[in-house]
Amino acid sequence: MILAPKHLSGISVLVALAFAYTAPASAQAIREPTRAPSPECAFACQSLTLVPDSTNHTTSRHYWRNLATGFATSILAHEAGHVAMSYALGAHPTFGFVDGKPTVFSGIDAARDPHKQFLFSSAGLNVQAIMDEAILDIPHRRGGAFERGILAGGIATAYFYATLGRNAPNSDITYMASTSSLNRTTASLIYAGLATIQTIRIAHDGHYANFFMRPSPSGAISIGVAVLPDDR
């Protein structure tokens, strides 16, 4: 768009007025010497700039309790995903033990309805992956111990099924491979790959600094068990 001369003159007037309005303040700022902040202020300002919001979370007295609660929530969500999918497919899940381990049975005939069995077997890992992605993608105040536990639970479960648990007879990976065109390696790589991407994203997000280690208020990293006096 080409401006007419009268528009240019009007703009020039506005710019001149704006400069005249701000000039005294600018001159005042130039004339007054800049005062160096006190050491306390400088430290506080630097802390607010460099330390992520998660510091208060990671130094909380209940850090490990909240972390464990989040981890357990992720595992329970995994099992709830299986149960919900079974009901959604019109089946009736049951609970039992296989080699001493609690197991959710789909109530689906895998030979007759392999696709339904695949949906059931993949539901647990899918729910955990969706929860982790939601935490990493949805804007919110990040870094709390509870959500760290959820992330750790989802990533640990994916790696477990992709490695140690992939060959178990009742493993989710085993059933996914037997009821679809995927083999165990491909199914394992899908979930391990997603967990690896999530781990990399966490490592590059300052809100999740010291993800598996709790920093003390002094800045040191506390690992292990500490014996504290009763009056603390």
DSSP 85-136: HHHHTT---EEEEETTEEEEE----TTT-HHHHHHHHHHHHHHHHHHHHHHH
DSSP, res 212: T
Which secondary-structure segment (H or E) carries 222?
strand 221-222
Task: Report how far residue 55's alpha carbon sits from residue 219's, in angstroms, rounded to the nearest whole number.
Answer: 10
Mean model confidence pLDDT for the chain: 78
The domain locations on the chain are: 61-220
Neighbour tally for 14: CB within 10 Å: 10
The whole-number pLDDT of residue 57 equals 53
Residue, of 172 and 51, whose pLDDT is higher: 172
**Residue 203 scores a pLDDT above 70:** yes
The pLDDT confidence band at residue 163, using thresholds 50, 70 and 90, is: very high
Is the pLDDT score of 179 beyond 50? yes
Rounded Cα distance between 136 and 139, Å, is 8
- The pLDDT assigned to 226 comes to 45
Of 40 and 6, more confident: 40
Q: What element of type H or E holds 141?
A: none
Confidence band of 183 (pLDDT split at 50, 70, 90): very high
Give the pLDDT score at 209.
87
Residues in the chain: 232
Mean pLDDT, range 209-227, rounded to an integer: 57
Mean pLDDT of 162-185: 93
3-state secondary structure of 69: helix
The pLDDT assigned to 55 comes to 45
Amino acid at 195: A
Say yes or no to pLDDT of 222 above 80: no
* Res 44 pLDDT > 50: no
Residue 181 to residue 28: CA distance in whole angstroms: 75
Mind listing the pLDDT tens digit for each residue in 4-38? 444 434 444 434 434 443 444 433 433 445 455 55
Q: b/e map of 194-231 (b: 16 or more CB within 10 Å)?
A: bbeebbeebeeeebbbebeebbeeeeeebeeeeeeeee
State in Å, rounded, how far the first CA of the chain is from the last one: 71
Counting residues of the chain whose pLDDT is more than 90, the rounded percentage is 55
| Cα–Cα distance, 128 to 150 (Å, whole number) | 8
